[in-house]
A and B are shown apart, each in its own frame.
Chain A
Amino acid sequence: MAHTFILDGQTIPFAEGETVLSAATRAGVFIPHLCHHPDFKPYGGCKLCTVRVEGRHTAACTLRAMPGLRVESDTEALNAERRHLTQMLFVEGNHFCPGCEQSGHCQLQATAAHLGMTSPHYPQFFPARPLDASHPDILLDLNRCILCTLCIRASREVDGKAVFALGGRGIGTHLVVNAASGRLVDSDLSADDLAARICPVGAILPKRRGFAVPIGERTYDGHAQVAGPLKTANREEGV
């Protein structure tokens, strides 16, 4: 821990090769993010963690910390951009929080609340996306997928299965299930796989679990300011 950098005026120690996001998180400073997970290599796709460094914008999850680096993160301008990115994620899919079992545990929803998002702002795309209820234990609802690829990485790197992959391109990018039928029931996925549990939103959910935790007591519930629990939750994850 010989080195430090400056994040919003605060001195943050870091280890050789560490990223700005991971060092900040360890120091208890929260930088919003969706596709990042501490157990996996940085991905850099959601761009929520974009920070400003020496006048340039870059994703904190892929940015190597350097001694003396001056990083801005919690500024009104950057949070406004994060809010817009979050709104983009909302309008490109079909996110109906009141009817979603993940509501209250959902990182997208919590991020939106944290950033003070009060409307989707952009015109909704209302895409026609399939719902796959074929698997006995797991529901796959692509309407809610934000393409963080955590399930893909978890299945490959931890479960050793490669149940998921990305298909399509551009706005048509979507999750592909590794089965000739394309259906989850014909894949190797099992309920205790990390891939079945890692989804930060409600795209991959266990079946037969309804309101096991009452609304009001969920991960991000019951706080006017969501930043607190979001930080805590991330620390508990070990982020």
Chain B
Amino acid sequence: MDESEQGRVVGGILAAQGHDPTRLVQILHHCQEAVGWLPPAVRAAVAAGLRLPLAQVEGVAGFYAFFHLQPVGRYRILFSDNITDRMQGSEALMQRLCASLWVEAGKVSEDGLVSIDRTSCTGLCDQGPALLVNLRPIGRLTVGRIDQIADLVRERVPLDAWPAELFAVEHPVWRRDRLLETPFAPGDALRAVRERVPQDGLAAANLRSWREGLPGGLAGPDALLDEIKRANLRGRGGAGFMTGLKWEACRHAPLPAGQTRCVVCNADEGEPGTFKDRVLLATRPDLVIEGMTVAAYAIGARRGFIYLRGEYRFLLAGLESVLAERRQAGLLGPDILGVPGMDFDIEIHLGAGAYVCGEESALIESLEGKRGTPRNRPPFPVTNGYLDQPTVVNNVETFAAAALIAVQGGAWYADRGTAHSAGTKLLSVAGDCARPGVYEFPFGVSVRAVLAACGAQETQAVQVGGPSGVCIGADAFDRCLAFEDIPTAGAFTIFDQRRDMFEVARNYVHFFQHESCGFCTPCRVGTRLLRDWMDKLQRGGGSPCDLAEIEQLNGLLQRSSHCGLGHTACNPVLDTLAHFRPAYLQRLQHTTFVPAFDLDQALAAARQMSGRDDPGAHLSAAADEAT
């Protein structure tokens, strides 16, 4: 595609997106899909068309791992690099594919045909190892599948002509409770909400709440908020904030003229080991979308967004068609269910490979077409969110639960779970067990019960809540999953006795380093220092001094980082150090400090350039010979 053709393509995309700079991330997605990468001419055309500085367009594009400012292969293959993928042999499979296609990981093949690299967890841990080819997922990788992929690439078969079974994603659910087993038809929750309003006040109440978003004294939204509060529903994204309070705060936030309240569904499920939102969005999309609509009703919002992580682009078409069906059925759009003024619609924004966008204010920045950097808070999104408008951001699972609460009532929901953690929780169970997949348990379930349900044996450790959660050993398996004991957003990754817990922690540390947004000093530099320390230990250069450094760094990150990513980046190391210290001690080959700088390693580039790898080209070997 030459530059003038690129210009035409970009022009069409910009027109379709209304030349709206807040849609920059979406525009870059479309451009890259059309052109393959984001060459300078495309960037320039986007900047000109949106009246943005070129540097800003490049700055936004450069933030997201899935946007390419340098040429990439026509087939862009990204191996999911979660610890579960590695445990299932992803590294060897990647090496095999690289060797087969004559390409080095991280580089583009000389003919520009293919590039192969690693990416953060793609959310297919229940069917790994997995990869993305041009953002389309392929799971259950085997040597056979890798060879098949190599053949397809070599023969330049267009992706659409690849065997469909390669792209098949399953959504295994092994245990269902309230959220996954309660029958639900589109519109049920909205009709129930309507029925709760005294008939005489129906139109007036809704008109006021939807058109003007006025707080207080309105039967419909208030009755709904009461049910949400009665359900004791807490946010399912991990932090566990009371959903009813959040909605109420947003509903009562002042609304300047010309603004509207917004409802955002956080489907940026990026925590390694988590995939329950994938299953919800694929199998119960109406429940999620209706939950958003119910939230819109409660707070008086007219605009909604689903922020879908780029790795889940394969769910996009299905979700779009559900939205279309709901508009057709009068469940989205103007005058929902025929009630005048009940206007609400939802658009889907696609993320582009940035874990930090799971943080709600970073997500909002991304929705606005910016770099996904967490904002300074306060103000919080409930008062100053999307385009400075009052905004509720909730997890996919929270909205699904809210829809059922609207139908069945708060008491029905709070009947499950514990006093402080009402209801049920979807767990993404993966790792060393017989039946990986989604399990819905009432809150308060013990770790041991989950392990038994999924057929885990000789379990050494469980990472609950992903790398930013906690790692527990067998002594803690009787503890419970609940906000008051072990809080979790749903990841439940199992490691049996064979696993090296040091390598688990090292994988997570690499993840945080890769995903740090770079905004604040402690996280930007600290995650890199931590990664280097863990790599130093892995190379055998460790001493007790390094462990002391890691502990001190953890304190600094916890106290001075800007957001949760930095606060939790050291957790995997500290937890494994506390519970699996031998895995570290066996690596401490020195009793006194050893510099991180390895002179022999520094000569690696020179060795590669000169094509030498004989003993004489190694410093240590040369020194040994001399003695």
Tell whether B539 is near chain A: CB-to-CB under 8 Å: no
A-B contact pairs, 22 of them (CB 8 A): A45-B519, A45-B562, A46-B521, A48-B521, A57-B559, A59-B376, A81-B560, A85-B560, A89-B521, A122-B529, A123-B529, A123-B532, A147-B524, A165-B59, A167-B62, A168-B518, A169-B62, A169-B64, A170-B528, A171-B524, A173-B519, A176-B55
Cross-chain contact of A47 among B513, B521, B597 (Cβ < 8 A):
B521
A50 within 8 A of B: yes
Q: When chains A and B are docked, how far (Å) is the Cα of A239 from the Cα of B76?
A: 50
Q: A40-62, CB under 8 A of B: which get 1 and which 0?
A: 00101111101000000101001
A70 on interface, CB distance cutoff 8 Å: no
Q: In the assembly, what is the distance between CA of A178 and CA of B517, in Å? A: 21
How many whole Å from A115's CB to the nearest CB in chain B?
14
Query: CB distance B518 to A162 under 8 Å?
Result: no
Partner of A123, one of B515, B516, B520, B596: B596
Residues of B within 8 A of A84 (CB): 552, 556
Tell me, yes or no, whether B572 is within 8 Å of chain A by CB.
no
Residue of B nearest to A34 (CB): B521
A179 contacts the other chain (CB 8 A): yes
Whether A88 is near chain B, meaning CB under 8 Å from some CB there, is yes
Chain B residues with CB below 8 A from A42, complex form: 376
Per-residue interface assignment for chain A, residues 115 to 135, with 1 indicating a CB less than 8 Å from any chain B CB and 0 otherwise: 000000011010000000000
CB distance from A189 to the nearest CB of B (A): 12
Residues in chain B within 8 A of chain A (CB atoms): 40, 44, 53-56, 58-59, 62-65, 354, 371, 376, 378, 513-522, 524-529, 532, 552, 556, 559-562, 595-597
| Chain A 135-176: CB-based contact to B (< 8 A → 1; otherwise 0) | 000000000000100000000000000111111111111001
Contact A170 B54, beta carbon cutoff 8 Å: no
Measured CA separation A147–B521 after assembly (Å): 9
Would A88 and B526 be within 8 Å (CB), given that A165-B53, A168-B62, A180-B54 are in contact?
yes
Q: How far is the CB of A61 from chain B (nearest CB, A)?
A: 9
- For the complex, give the distance between the alpha carbons of A130 and B292 in Å: 48
B529 to chain A, nearest CB (A): 6
- By a CB distance below 8 angstroms, the chain A residues around B518 are 147, 166, 168-173
Contact B562 A47 (CB under 8 A): yes
Q: A168 vs B64: C-alpha distance in the bound complex, in angstroms?
A: 8
Chain A positions within 8 Å of B53 at CB level: 162, 165, 178
Q: Please indicate the chain A residues that have their CB under 8 angstroms from the CB of B514 in the complex.
A: 170
- How would residues 179 to 206 of chain A score, 1 for a CB under 8 Å from any chain B CB and 0 otherwise? 1100000000000000000000000000
User: Complex: how many Å from CA A89 to CA B560?
Assistant: 14
Beyond A85-B556, A123-B597, A171-B527, 17 additional contacts (C-beta under 8 Å) are A44-B520, A57-B559, A81-B560, A88-B522, A88-B525, A91-B525, A147-B524, A165-B58, A166-B518, A169-B63, A169-B371, A170-B515, A170-B518, A171-B518, A173-B518, A179-B54, A179-B55
Indicate the member of A57, A92, A167 with the most B CB atoms within 10 Å: A167
Q: Are B54 and A45 interface neighbours, CB within 8 A?
A: no
CB atoms of B55 and A164 under 8 A apart: yes
Q: Is the CB of B559 within 8 A of A44?
A: no
Residue of B nearest to A86 (CB): B521
**A170 cross-chain contacts in B, Cβ below 8 A:** 513-518, 524, 527-528
Residue of B with least CB distance to A148: B521
A168 touches B63 (CB 8 A): yes
User: Which of A57, A85, A123 is close to B521, meaning CB atoms less than 8 Å apart?
Assistant: A85
User: Which one of B371, B520, B562 lies within 8 Å of A166 (CB-CB)?
Assistant: B371
Instruction: Name the CB-closest residue of A to B378.
Output: A64
Q: How far is the CA of A214 from the CA of B552 in the complex (A)?
A: 40
Q: For A46, give the chain B residue with the smallest CB separation.
A: B521
Please give, as numbers and ranges, the residues of chain B lying within 8 Å of A21 by CB-CB distance: none
In the assembled complex, A110 has its CB within 8 A of some CB on chain B: no
- Measured between beta carbons, the chain A residues less than 8 angstroms from B532 are 123
Other-chain contact of B560, A50, A147, A165 (Cβ < 8 Å): A50
Number of residues of chain A lying within 8 A (CB) of chain B: 39
> CA separation between A116 and B25, bound complex, in Å?
44
- CB distance A169 to B517 under 8 Å? yes
Question: Of A44, A57, A167, which one neighbours B55 at CB under 8 angstroms?
Answer: A167
Q: How far is the CA of A176 from the CA of B560 in the complex (A)?
A: 27
Whether A47 lies near B55 (C-beta < 8 A) is no
- Asked whether A65 is an interface residue with its Cβ less than 8 Å from the other chain, the reply is no
For A48, the chain B residues whose CB sits under 8 A away are: 521
**Docked-complex contact B559 and A176, CB < 8 angstroms:** no
Q: A123-B532, A165-B59, A166-B371 are in contact. Are A180 and B44 (CB under 8 A)?
A: yes
Q: How far is A147 from B520 in the complex, measured between Cα atoms in Å? A: 9
Specify which chain A residues have a CB less than 8 angstroms from the CB of B561 in the assembled complex.
Answer: 47
Binary contact track A58-102/B, C-beta < 8 Å → 1, others 0: 010010100000000000000001001100110110000000000
Q: Are B376 and A176 in contact (CB under 8 A)?
A: no
Q: Which residues on B sit within 8 Å (CB–CB) of A47?
A: 520-522, 560-562
Which residues of the partner chain A approach B525 to less than 8 Å between Cβ atoms?
88-89, 91-92, 122, 171
* Chain B residue with Cβ nearest A164: B55
Please give, as numbers and ranges, the residues of chain A lying within 8 Å of B552 by CB-CB distance: 84
Residue A177 CB within 8 A of the other chain = yes
- Chain A positions within 8 Å of B597 at CB level: 123
- The answer on a CB contact under 8 Å between A50 and B44 is no
B371 touches A50 (CB 8 A): no
User: What residues on A are CB-neighbors of B63 within 8 Å?
Assistant: 167-169
Q: Which residue of B lies closest to A44 (CB)?
A: B376
Residue contact A177 to B520, C-beta cutoff 8 Å:
no
Q: Please indicate the chain B residues that have their CB under 8 angstroms from the CB of A177 in the complex.
A: 55
List chain B residues, Cβ under 8 A from A172. Answer: 518
Minimum CB–CB distance for A18 against chain B, Å: 15
**Minimum Cβ distance to chain B for residue A220 (Å):** 21
Please, how many angstroms separate the alpha-carbon atoms of A164 and B58 in the complex? Answer: 11
**With contacts A170-B516, A171-B513 known, is A92 near B524, CB below 8 A?**
yes
Cα-based distance from A57 to B40 in the complex (angstroms) = 43
A122 vs B531: C-alpha distance in the bound complex, in angstroms? 13
List, in ascending order, chain A residues with CB within 8 A of B527's CB: 170-171
Q: Among B63, B515, B517, B597, find the residue whose CB has the most chain A CB atoms closer than 10 A.
A: B63
| Smallest CB gap from A162: residue in B | B53
Cβ–Cβ < 8 Å partners of A178 in chain B = 53-56
Question: Is the beta-carbon distance between B521 and A45 smaller than 8 angstroms?
Answer: yes
Indicate whether A167 sits within 8 Å of B524 (C-beta atoms), given known contacts A44-B376, A44-B562: no
CA distance A122 to B354 in the complex (A): 27
Closest to A57 in B: B559
Residue in B closest to A56 when the chains form the complex, CB atoms: B559
A123 to B532, CA, bound (A): 9
Q: Which residues of B sit under 8 angstroms from A163, Cβ to Cβ?
A: 55
Q: Shortest beta-carbon distance, B144 to chain A, in Å?
A: 36
Given the complex, which residues of A lie within 8 Å of B371, measured CB to CB? 166, 169
- Indicate if the CB atoms of A88 and B55 lie closer than 8 Å: no
Asked if B54 contacts A173 (CB within 8 A), the reply is no
A145–B537 CA distance with the chains assembled, in angstroms: 30
Q: How far is the CB of B597 from chain A (nearest CB, A)?
A: 7
Residue of A nearest to B555 (CB): A81
Q: A178 CA to B54 CA in the complex, in Å?
A: 6
Enumerate chain A residues within 8 angstroms of B556, measured Cβ to Cβ.
81, 84-85
- Contact call A165/B521, Cβ cutoff below 8 A: no
Asked if A180 meets B560 with Cβ closer than 8 Å, knowing A47-B521, A170-B517, the reply is: no
